[in-house]
Amino acid sequence: MSDDQVRRARLAVANGALGVDDCVQLLDMLGLTLDEDGQAPVQR
């Protein structure tokens, strides 16, 4: 998954989230948050 695809996916999740906690949980579930190495798991 490219950096641009990750960026667009994050924006889509943020747009549909019901609040901050919902957004954080959804991003984590979809592998769109950064790990310890600074990379999104979905990009591995």
pLDDT in the model for residue 42: 94
Q: Residue 19: what pLDDT?
A: 97
Dihedral, CA atoms, 6, 15, 25, 32, nearest 10 degrees?
0
Burial degree of 32 (CB within 10 A; 0-12, 13-18, 19+): buried
For the chain, 44 residues long, give each residue's pLDDT as a single digit of tens. 999 999 999 999 999 999 999 999 999 999 999 999 999 999 98
The candidate with the shortest Cα–Cα distance to 31, out of 16, 17, 44, 12, is 44
Model pLDDT, residue 14? 97
The confidence score (pLDDT) of residue 16 equals: 96
